[in-house]
Structure 1
Amino acid sequence: MEYVEIARAESERGELVLRERRPEGAPTSLELRANGVFVMDTVEVSTERALASAALELVEDPRAVVVGGLGLGYTMHEVLADQRVEKCAVVEIEEALVGWMRDGTIPHGPALLADQRVVVVVADIAHALAEARPATYDLVLLDVDNGPGYLVHEANAALYAPPFLTAARAALRPGGALVIWSADEAPELAAALTETFGDAEARPLEVLLQEREEHYWLYVARVRG
C-alpha cells in the first residue's frame, strides 16, 4: 500500500492531513487524519450516509438542516439528496478542510458546494448554534466525532453536555430534532439530552461495512410542537 500526502495544515487544534491511498491493483482513495488519528476516508462512507438518511426520516419537514462537521462531505451529500431540504448549513471548524473542498483538492468538493442550498460556515459548532436565531432549524446533525467516547479533540467533550445541548434546542423549531452519531452506547449523553429536552431516545442502527455488519447508535432528542 502506497500513501501520498495531498495536503497538510496546522491549526491550534493540531495537524490535519489529507492523503491518497494507492493500493496495488485497486482504485485510489482519500483518507483524512487529525493529529495522526484516522478520521474518515472515501472507501467506506456508509456510516455518514446512514446518519443523514436516518435523521431525515425523523423530521416531517426538514426544510433547514445544520450539519456539525464537514468531513469529506458525505453527510452533507446525503442531506442534499432529500428534496425537502431547502437549506443545508455546514459548520466546520477547520478552515483548511473547507478550502480543500472548495478548490478541488478533495475532487468531489466543488460539485457538492455548487448546490445553492449549501452554506458553509467556518466556526466552532458550539459558537455557531449559540449565536443562531431561535427556531432557525428543523434538524441538527452532530457528526464531529464518533460520539462522546471517541473524541477527535478533547475540547469536543463540551458538545455532549447540557450547555451546548441547550443551544441546539433553542436553535430548533417545534417538531425539530437533534441527532448525534455515536459508535457505542453513551448513557451519559442520553441523560444530558433528557435533562435538556425532557426526553430522548437511543436508536440502534446497523450499517453494512465491506460485507460486515456494524452496530452504531443515534441519540435523538426532539422539540415537541
Structure 2
Amino acid sequence: MTEPVEYVEIARAESERGELVLRERRVVDGPACLELRANGIFVMDNVETTTERALATEALGLVADPRAVIVGGLGLGFTMSEVLADPRVEVCAVVEIEQALVDWMREGTIAHGPAILADQRVKVVVADIAVALAEAGPATYDLVLLDVDNGPGYLVHSTNAALYEAPALTSARAILRPGGALAIWSADESTDLEAALRTVFDEAEARPHAVRLQEREETYWLYVGRVASDA
C-alpha cells in the first residue's frame, strides 16, 4: 500500500516569470523531503541529488586547473556545494535569476543554505544566465556549468531555449580561458545541442551517464564543449 503523502508549503514567491514554491513532501513515519517547483513544474528536491552532484564532479574532471567556475542555476545548492568541495576551486560564481531563491538560501529557509553561501569563494549574481555570460569579461573562467533546466527538452521557462543555441554558447566560450570547458546536464539526448556545441567549440562531445532514480535505471547526458589549451 502506498503511504499517504502530505505537502506543506514552506515559502512562495511571484516574479514576472511566474510562481516559485518551496514545500515539504511528508509521508507517515518517514523523513520530510524539501521540494522546489517553478510554475507547478518539479525542479528538484533534497532526496535525490545524484544528478546535480554528478554534473559538478564530472565537469571538474574536464579541466586541469578549475580555479574559477561559474554555475548557471542555484537550485537547492547541491551543484555549487560539490564545486566547492574541490580544493582547486578559488572562485565559484553562481548566477540565479530568482532573488527569492537566493534569499531563502541566505536566510535559512533552506536549512543548509547559509553554510554554503558563507564560503568566501562564493559570489552570487542575481541575473539571467544568458545576460551574465554575455556581460562577463573575456577569458575569466575555467569552467561553465549550466544547471538551469534539465536540458533543452525540459525547460523551466520557455525563454531558456536560447541558452542551448549558438549565440549563448558563443558567449560561454568567450569567457573561458584556454583549456576551459562548458558542461550542460540534460535529462535526454539532444543531437541539436551537440551540433550547436560543435559549431562553437574546438571540441564537443555527449557523455551518457547512468543514474538510478527511485529504483529505476535512467540515462542522463553531459554535453561538453572544450576550448583548446593553446586557443
Into which bin does the TM-score normalised by the smaller protein fall?
A: over 0.9
What are the Cα deviations for residues 6-41 of structure 1, in whole angstroms up to 9, with x where unaligned?
000000100000001111110111100000111100
TM-score with structure 2 setting the length:
0.96
State the shift of 1:199 in Å: 2.9
What are the Cα deviations for residues 196-218 of structure 1, in whole angstroms up to 9, with x where unaligned?
11431001111232443221100
Which residue, out of 140, 154, 175, partners 1:136?
140
What are the Cα deviations for residues 160-210 of structure 1, in whole angstroms up to 9, with x where unaligned?
011100000000000000000111110000111111114310011112324
What are the Cα deviations for residues 99-128 of structure 1, in whole angstroms up to 9, with x where unaligned?
000000000000000110101100001111
Aligned positions, number: 225
- Aligned to 1:25, the other structure's residue is in SS state coil
Whole-angstrom CA distance in 2 between matches of 1:130 and 1:7:
32
- Aligned to 1:51, the other structure's residue is in SS state helix
1:206 alignment counterpart: 210
**What do you get for the CA RMSD once the two structures are aligned?**
0.8
Letter in 2 for 1:120: V
Whole-angstrom CA distance in 2 between matches of 1:61 and 1:31:
34
Identity of counterpart residues, as a percentage?
77
- Aligned to 1:4, the other structure's residue is in SS state strand
Whole-angstrom CA distance in 2 between matches of 1:173 and 1:198:
13
Whole-angstrom CA distance in 1 between matches of 2:25 and 2:108:
17
Bigger Cα displacement from structure 2, 115-124 vs 191-200:
191-200
Whole-angstrom CA distance in 2 between matches of 1:209 and 1:48:
13
Whole-angstrom CA distance in 2 between matches of 1:64 and 1:208:
31
Q: Determine if contact 1:143/1:180 at 8 Å carries over to the other structure.
A: yes
TM-score with structure 1 setting the length:
0.98
Which residue, out of 89, 92, 103, partners 2:107?
103
* 5+ long unaligned stretches in structure 2: none
**Runs of 4+ deviating beyond 3 Å:** none
1:80 alignment counterpart: 84
2:45 alignment counterpart: 41
Letter in 2 for 1:4: V
Which residue, out of 45, 56, 66, partners 1:62?
66
Whole-angstrom CA distance in 1 between matches of 2:95 and 2:68:
13
